[in-house]
């Protein structure tokens, strides 16, 4: 999506997605992808070696792996969590294919927390050792709200590795830019009746009602002069009681896989739609295909797992010219 937004021509060599519904959506949305592996931990090395042989093209590799082992919202079990294992498949792919540019993404604690310093250091050291030091490696924590120009917070660490033999000039990380308000991204609703709102509230579980009640009491204290019935506040209906209410003004808080479908817009008295959540990640709903058997639930979850497209676009815009790729 980022390459398309830059208007660049490319050949999509491979991708990996284990969850079957996500894979169907990916394949429908990216029909030009030559191979979609069902598991990144069991990709045949021959496919990766073929990519390495394309000497006349700039080879780009992007990857993320499950963030739950490192996220503050999870148990933070690190390497003890089975979901951390794909990181080694990612590093193996880089070792085999030797791409000119690597972009990796995960939550900031992966690289900033002392708890995970060992695995983070091992990953960075491994990248720097490939090809006897063939790569420059740098990383930066960027928030989509401050660096992506989107109305959603999403703080992520981006690790960039560039082949030393391809670098023609220095590059700089993107600098902060203003973010628009969420209201610009929301779709108009038909007139909402009392019965409509009652039906939505009746359909909420106890956790949702507790969060909404706490949020409505918090808003006038934290944002004096604002009116939840008129102004755009977003309430996470799924937040656990130990964390308290999660409320943001005219933007989404971090969109996650498990909470993306439960973001309540106070002024519309409605949940955010999949198209609105996707837009806050930089995706146009019209560009995402939903084949038979796939639902809005899957779209919400994928939006919560996705890279923020505008942040990646800005990184590519900065790095590609440094590798001699014309923009």
Which residues belong to the active site? 67
Residues 6+ apart with CB under 8 A from 77: 69, 84
**How far is residue 69's CA from residue 81's CA, in Å, rounded to a whole number?**
6
Residues 6+ apart with CB under 8 A from 264: 208, 212, 215, 234, 235, 236, 237, 270, 271, 272
Residues 6+ apart with CB under 8 A from 146: 176, 177, 179
Tell the burial category of 312 from Cβ atoms under 10 Å away from its Cβ (0-12, 13-18, 19+). buried
Q: Which residues are registered as beta bridge partners of 265?
A: 234, 270
**How far is residue 182's CA from residue 252's CA, in Å, rounded to a whole number?**
7
């Amino acid at each position: 999506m980022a390459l398309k937004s830059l208007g660049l021509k490319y050949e999509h060599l491979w991708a990996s997605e284990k969850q079957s519904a996500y894979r169907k959506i990916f394949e429908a949305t990216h029909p030009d992808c030559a191979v979609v592996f069902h598991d990144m931990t069991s990709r045949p090395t021959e496919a990766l070696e073929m990519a390495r042989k394309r000497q006349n093209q700039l080879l780009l590799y992007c990857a993320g792996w499950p963030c739950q082992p490192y996220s503050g919202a999870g148990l933070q079990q690190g390497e003890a969590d089975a979901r951390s294992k794909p990181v080694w498949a990612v590093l193996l792919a880089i070792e085999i294919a030797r791409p000119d540019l690597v972009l990796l993404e995960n939550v900031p604690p992966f690289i900033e927390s002392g708890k995970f310093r060992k695995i983070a250091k091992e990953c960075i050291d491994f990248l720097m050792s490939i090809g006897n030091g063939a790569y420059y490696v740098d990383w930066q924590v960027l928030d989509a709200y401050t660096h992506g120009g989107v109305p959603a917070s999403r703080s992520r660490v981006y690790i960039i590795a560039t082949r030393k033999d391809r670098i023609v000039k220095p590059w700089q990380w993107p600098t902060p830019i203003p973010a628009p308000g969420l209201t610009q991204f929301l779709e108009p609703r038909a007139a909402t009746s009392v019965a409509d709102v009652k039906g939505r509230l009746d359909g909420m579980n106890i956790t949702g009602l507790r969060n909404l009640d706490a949020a409505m009491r918090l808003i006038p204290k934290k944002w004096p002069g604002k009116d939840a019935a008129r102004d755009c506040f977003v309430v996470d209906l799924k937040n656990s009681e130990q964390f308290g209410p999660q409320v943001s003004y005219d933007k989404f808080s971090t969109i996650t896989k498990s909470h993306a479908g439960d973001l309540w817009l106070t002024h519309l008295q409605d949940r955010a739609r999949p198209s609105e959540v996707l837009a806050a990640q930089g995706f146009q709903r019209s560009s995402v295909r939903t084949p038979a058997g796939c639902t809005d639930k899957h779209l919400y979850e994928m939006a919560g797992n996705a890279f923020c497209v505008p942040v990646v676009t800005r990184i590519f815009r900065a790095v590609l010219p440094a590798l001699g790729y014309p923009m």
